[in-house]
Structure 1
């Protein structure tokens, strides 16, 4: 059996599992970059770029698929713990489950990314459904994304750790 906590543990060594997604997939003009680099003494995955709301756009995302085709079972955990560094802006975590069938649907939670490494805990019970009526089903967590969204700004957010916590 796979240890679900370990699937998310070491962001610094799983950079190849993450992908950059931008609003360009729907005609937007936001432009970003995903890199693996040392920041303030830690290896991290870093999302940088400019979020533009022009042409009906407005997001940059670093995303990772979880588990096999059916996703992973996170039902034994209370939430996500992130180790983040940023530029003081507010970012989102977007979760997708087997119930999410449209690109605009997700379960969302916002967080601030300060300019020093900070550990943030996000309880699953605080995630809000976005354009979906199904409740968050933690038995089928399929994808996670760190998202710069909703306004024009320069994004700069880094992730050195991502864990499930009990």
Structure 2
């Protein structure tokens, strides 16, 4: 954890299975929307004593596929989330030891394959990752991340074939005045 980091905006603590803390709803997506064959599911439940959203399935690279994802709209009410004053996103995950990514979409990401990604390694215990906005790399988009125009956040298993299993129990913007 950055020494002086503090949460500035809770996005979701997964205490309500119907709605995220920001009022939106988490949705499951897979590469099947574009012809892939990956299979998965998402659901709320208790994981190691915490309320969480679980993502599990089998990622397949066949038919140009390769992902399963849970995503949450951040622009509830039609206006992008302005995270310009924040340093990054704090995300608490517990998983199967696999590598996952946190995806951001902004008002600039017009195509479904465009995003900004920061990778997360999971383990069998709850771990909070502090992902500075500088760690999010553009994927199939030439524009730099504009954190004042966030539209969606997603937890994704992508590009590695095989089983996937990860849970998320907290998601928030954080600020680190020392950075």
In 2, Cα distance between the equivalents of 1:131 and 1:14? 33
**TM-score for both structures, normalised by structure 1:** 0.93
In 2, Cα distance between the equivalents of 1:91 and 1:75? 25
Candidates 16, 29, 44, aligned match of 1:21: 29
Residue 34 of structure 1: aligned partner: 42
More helix by share: 1
Distance 1:41 1:71, change over 3 A: same
CA shift for structure 1 position 133? 1.0
Contact 1:62/1:146, CA 8 A, preserved across alignment: yes
Query: What does residue range 147-162 of structure 1 map to in structure 2 within 5 Å?
Result: 147-162=156-171
CA shift for structure 1 position 70? 2.8
1:58 paired to 2:72:
no
In 1, Cα distance between the equivalents of 2:90 and 2:99? 16
How many aligned positions are there? 162
Show structure 1 runs of 5+ residues with no match: none
In 1, Cα distance between the equivalents of 2:154 and 2:15? 16
CA RMSD of aligned residues (A): 1.2
Runs of 4+ in 1 over 4 A off after TM superposition: none
**TM-score for both structures, normalised by structure 2:** 0.87
Candidates 126, 129, 142, aligned match of 2:138: 129
In 1, Cα distance between the equivalents of 2:17 and 2:83? 19
